[in-house]
Structure 1
Amino acid sequence: MTNANVGRGAKPSARLDPQIFFWQPENGARHAIPGAHADYELGEQGQSLCGQPVRIRPAPESEWIAFPTCDKCWQAAKSLLGELKSVRPRLW
């Protein structure tokens, strides 16, 4: 039996928990990626909640500011977390 988390400790992967995801700017939008950021290697390809392939990488601050939140990812994230009472995140 192989351990998918070799080199990352014995913790179970957060990719299996549908309520854990992180945001990554890519192709003009901030997308939600299933799992914890630490579960991915830099350069690894992830798939966003909207189905968009996303390369895990350090994103420049300008992308966090300029790229809007992907609406499909936002709706999928709200669905996964149930009734989200907060407003859509925005930068003022």
Structure 2
Amino acid sequence: MFRSYKWQPHDGGRHAIPQHLAEHDAGRTLCGLEVVAGPDVWSSCERCWPTCVQCDRAWRAAENILPWPREEDSHAGVEVSADDELAQLR
């Protein structure tokens, strides 16, 4: 499966950038930051940086992936029978 974006550590966070950016190419993250693409191999410290919430939302929307965290009452894409709904109310 081809993805349009990849993740890149920048300024203490992990941001989504266009997949086609090669190392040293200038571009923008999905949250609008101007960056220069770095290597695709990250340090162990950079792997633990928090994911940019704006980039994550935009990436999930572009890839048709449900948002995370999921809403507790969300049944998106899940069929629930009337019997299941009644059981949940009891």
Encode CA deviations 1:45-89: one digit per residue, 9 max, x unaligned. Answer: 121110011221123221112x1000000111121122427759x
Q: Aligned AA for 2:5?
A: F
TM-score by length of 2: 0.61
Separation in 1 of the partners of 2:65 and 2:28? 23
- % same residue: 34
What's 1:77 paired with? 59
Separation in 1 of the partners of 2:60 and 2:69? 11
Is 1:64 aligned to 2:64, yes or no? Answer: no
How many matched pairs? 67
Separation in 2 of the partners of 1:48 and 1:80? 13
- Runs (5+) with no aligned partner, structure 1: 1-16
Q: Find the structure with the greater CA-based Rg.
A: 2
Separation in 1 of the partners of 2:24 and 2:67? 34
8 Å contact kept, 2:21–2:37: yes
- Runs (5+) with no aligned partner, structure 2: 71-90
Q: SS at the partner of 2:14?
A: strand
Pair 1:72–1:86, CA change in 2 (3 A): closer
Q: Aligned AA for 1:60?
A: S
Q: SS at the partner of 2:30?
A: coil
